[in-house]
Structure 1
Amino acid sequence: MLYRYPPLLPKDFYMHRVAHPRRLGFEEANATCEDGVQWILSFFGDCVDTNLKLLGFAVGFVSLLLWLVPLFPQLYENYRTKRCEGLSVYFLMFWMIGDTCNMIGAVLTHQQPLQQIIGVYYIIQDMVLISQFVYYTRLYQANRQGMIAGSSIIVPVFLFGIFGLSSFLPSQTDVLPSVETGFKPGRRLVSDELLSESFGAPPIFDGYKDVAGYIIGSIAAICYFAGRIPQLLRNYYRKSCEGLSLAMFYIIVVANLTYGLSVILETDSTGWIYLLRHLPWLAGSLGCCFFDMMMIAQYYYYTRKNSRAMNILTDERENLLEGGGEHED
């Protein structure tokens, strides 16, 4: 899993895994969205009243669907091999922090129930993966050696994830809450008002909560981005990507690309301010694609290299056996 990544619904400043275009509140929009698609407005809070916005929403919805399943291939791979040595514990930590920030932001800002449900779903996936990591690297091997009776281990899977991960880290990492950065009526930042009056442009932020959400959301995006570095290093030091699911990488790359495309499509209809407010997530998304492609390249490189080395060893062994048989004759 290599770029939890990600960003909840709809696509606000603190969100990275999910990409649903949304008109920002400071824009001159029809508050009732009479010309928009009503079911989209009801479920996602997104005013889709043009064909371009509909295309952006469709692309964002594809990204959402992809982000619901990227961990499934990795979870199955771990279950099939009963091993998690290929995963970096720091990658798991960064991904969990990013998803937790997104979830806290959705709860504190009273986002729609669907957003909060998806946020919980993301965290549950993370906890299951972390639980697999703790179980297969610590408990499963000991159980196979007879040190722990398998029937006596009856612990909820999420407890492994919460309490077990700390044993792999030298120190604890604080998780910063995320705050909504969407439009809130009220007083704007003085600096934004001065900027707006000076250049005739709409303010970028709508208040101090807006700025806090932007900063914390950027931190969450950095966590998704930075988590790939220790995973790349782990692959390099091991000279192998064994245990990592290639299908997961492909899903994440497509999910990030569709996210970036949805932001660009929305920018065409809402203006440069929208792009500026989503710039950290857009940069993080494209940056994650770069690192994910590097990991895919690592996967193929080390697989071919190790396969060639194995073939050479097999040939040498066969030659030795044949040579030994001729000597006996």
Structure 2
Amino acid sequence: MMAFIAPPPQSEELSSVMGYMSIACWIVVYSPQIYENYVLKSGEGLSVPFIILWLLGDMTNLVGAIYAGLLPTMIILAVYYNLCDVVLIYQVYYYRWLRRKRREADGERQPLVELDEPKVVKPILPAYLLWPLLVGFVLAVGWIAHILHENDDVKIPDGTTGGGVELEWKSQVLGYTSCVLYMLSRVPQVFHNFRTRCEGLSLAMFFFSISGNVTYIASILMKSTDYKYLVTNASWIAGSAFTIFLDLFIIGQFAYYTWQDSQKAPVFANDEDDE
């Protein structure tokens, strides 16, 4: 999420660092899920309404970025978010079509149990290397932003070409629309997880989504705590905060189902020993 209103220049350096770290999180966020879908040759871990609502929120964001006259780099990022959403939707429907064609081709020659046999996602790197690298990338972006901000010749943009804080209705409509879409997007995924037990869903996607929203809110609050400024950016703060809450709930689902599976494993082991 990105605001379309430029706040007053207060704590600009820390705010810019947080803003760039937020962008880095959002660059990372889609990759683990796209990779997991590719390895599993399935997108069943994702709720289709979740992706569609997320796409609509990103489309609203893109319209707002263009309307507000953001720098080309910010507009390119907004386009990137939309393209990633489209890739996820494509993966879901393509792998469903591929699965249906396989079943039609095999007919009665192969049991459905074998066709539906779950695959294990093999990470590109071991977790003890991959996670530090991803987190390190986000921190490095924040550090580079800090260095750039100290350079008088390079000015990190406020996010718009405008100066003060203006409660402009078009931007507010876009802000609250994207806010509602982002919040609603998580609801179908939460219910979808009750059925799939989070199988085929990337934990990293929600971890970096939370990180992106936390740093985004921090970038707003570090700019200013002026009442008018907070009211102007209330939609983006509320949308990010509520999305964080739902993403934490989804991570809680991951933890609960992982704990359940760990409890089942010793039971099955004891059954085999009895035989």
256, 271, 275: which one aligns with 1:316: 271
80, 83, 87: which one aligns with 1:124: 83
Q: 1:264 to 1:79 in 2, by over 3 A?
A: same
Other-structure match for 2:171: 213
Other-structure match for 1:159: none
Q: Is the 8 A contact 1:225 1:288 kept in 2?
A: yes
Letter in 2 for 1:262: S
After TM superposition, what 4+ stretches of structure 1 lie above 4 angstroms from structure 2? 182-185
CA positional deviation for 1:203: 8.4
243, 248, 252: which one aligns with 1:293: 248
Other-structure match for 1:264: 221
Letter in 2 for 1:114: T
CA distance in 2, matches of 1:95, 1:283: 16
Pairwise mapping of residues 136-215 of structure 1 onto structure 2 (< 5 A)?
Answer: 136=95, 138-145=96-103, 147=105, 205=167, 210-215=168-173
Determine whether 1:12 maps to 2:1: no
Other-structure match for 2:199: 242
CA positional deviation for 1:222: 1.2
CA distance in 2, matches of 1:111, 1:287: 25
What is the CA deviation profile of residues 69-127 of structure 1, one whole-angstrom value per residue up to 9, with x for unaligned ones? 10101111111111221111111111000001111223344433222211111111111
TM-score by length of 2: 0.73
Determine whether 1:105 maps to 2:64: yes
What is the CA deviation profile of residues 132-177 of structure 1, one whole-angstrom value per residue up to 9, with x for unaligned ones? 11111x21202323549xxxxxxxxxxxxxxxxxxxxxxxxxxxxx
90, 94, 102: which one aligns with 1:135: 94
Q: 1:144 to 1:124 in 2, by over 3 A?
A: same
Other-structure match for 2:7: 23
Q: Is the 8 A contact 2:61 2:178 kept in 1?
A: yes
Q: Which structure would you say has the larger Rg?
A: 1
Q: Give the gaps of 5 or more residues in structure 1.
A: 1-6, 14-21, 25-47, 149-181, 186-201, 323-329
Q: Which has the higher helix share?
A: 2
Determine whether 1:86 maps to 2:70: no
What is the CA deviation profile of residues 40-81 of structure 1, one whole-angstrom value per residue up to 9, with x for unaligned ones? xxxxxxxx6x6x211111111111111111010111111111
Other-structure match for 2:180: 222
Q: Percent identity?
A: 32
Q: Is the 8 A contact 2:165 2:229 kept in 1?
A: no
What is the CA deviation profile of residues 174-204 of structure 1, one whole-angstrom value per residue up to 9, with x for unaligned ones? xxxxxxxx7879xxxxxxxxxxxxxxxx985
Q: Is the 8 A contact 2:12 2:222 kept in 1?
A: yes
TM-score by length of 1: 0.62
Q: Give the gaps of 5 or more residues in structure 2.
A: 107-159
CA positional deviation for 1:314: 4.3
Other-structure match for 1:191: none
Question: After the TM superposition, which of the residue ranges 101-110 and 216-225 deviates more from structure 2?
Answer: 101-110
Q: Is the 8 A contact 2:165 2:232 kept in 1?
A: no
Instruction: Kindly indicate whether structure 1 or structure 2 has the higher relative contact order, using CA contacts under 8 Å at least 6 residues apart.
Output: 2
Letter in 2 for 1:12: F
RMSD: 2.6
